[in-house]
Structure 1
Amino acid sequence: MALSCDAIIFDLDGVLIDSDAVIKRRWKRWAEDRGIPFEEVEAVNTGRPAIEVIEEVAPHLDPETEIDRLGDEMATDTEGLEAFDGAKALLNRLPQDRWAIATSGRHHTATSRMAHVRLPEPKVLVTADDVDQGKPDPEPYQQAADRLGVGPDRAVVLEDAPAGVESARRAGALVLGVATSTSPSALAEATAVIPHVSALDVRTEEAGLQVDWESREEA
């Protein structure tokens, strides 16, 4: 099945960039330093803004102080960081006004990671610093669509986390789950699930973009 749309909005980590090792390493160190079981962090952190995770698992700490320190560590830790196969080629093929990134990470972290793996930086980049409510709230994807000048219902979103899938669906977008960091069953609310971004086939036509894919089962 192919989808017709006016724009594609990508999540960053887990969709375009494989940062799983960095994220786990930084959160584990943060939790150990504060005497918080890492399992509590791991249970709630996927796809959500870090400040909300901190507020949930460590309400006794000042979230602004904690997020500043954690954000700096996330932005500068690049060991094991790499772009997923096909990510750079796909972004370079897309017209610049037809794609955006909406991430739960902070702006400095997102741009640092994109620069490290040499991904092109989008004209529209929505980060945790730009929204009042992060995923699973629809605001990140609503804002990205607005800034692209398209209706959310004319956007296809690529997401690897259940919170992100919910965010995109609530915004009114169609969603393709990318099963890199979570199981396909955890992404069941998506329109379809693909194994990785290289499974996408995107064609630019006069009427917009045509998005087709290799399914998780076919991979």
Structure 2
Amino acid sequence: MKLTIFAATGGVGRLLLDQAVAAGHEVTAVARNPGAALPGAARVVTADLSTAPAATLGDAVAGADAVLSALGARSRAEAGIAWRGTRAIVQAMRATGTRRLVVVSAAPVGTVPSPDRPRPPRHDPGDGVFMRNLFAPLVKSVLREHYADLARMEDVLRASDLDWTVVRPPRLTDRPLTGTYREAYGRNVRAGWSIPRADVAHCLLRALERPETVGRTIGIAT
């Protein structure tokens, strides 16, 4: 397949890029600072999604069978990059007729208010008592800006007419790929505390082979 990967030098993005190239896909890697060594098989596009000209993004996604995004803020100062960047990606895809988009979000986001969902469910149906009453509220308090950014990113997707899929992992680790993670549609995975970044990348690529994931959120965890 011909794929375009955004945030291709980040924690999940770089693993996604490596796995896509290893699988034989034709890949365009888009990154703000692609200084890190990237696979020679990948075409590299340098673009800051907050300032990149529409023509640059259009060129990056034109002709792609699918677009994958690992956008996410690395600090509070970067909060907003996920929804604004995804909005720019969606606009470029609409302009070029590219339809399939798979993105990374986060497990708590289903219960985070956003402009289009000001009253989300209080609890995720996949969360147990401890997660609902102690851990989730604590994490959402600490990472409030990050999750608000991702919740608004999901608004952008739902408002689009694209064939999107959202993958919502819990805490990310640097453990090796297992390929044996659990999934749950429309909810978090029960007792799902963490997952390797490599497995998140694997799930993103695997979603491209499953038409039933279109228009769905997928909770994943080991």
TM range (shorter): 0.3 to 0.5
Higher relative contact order (CA 8 A, sep 6+): 1
Please, what TM-score do these two structures have when normalized by structure 2?
A: 0.36
Please, what TM-score do these two structures have when normalized by structure 1?
A: 0.37
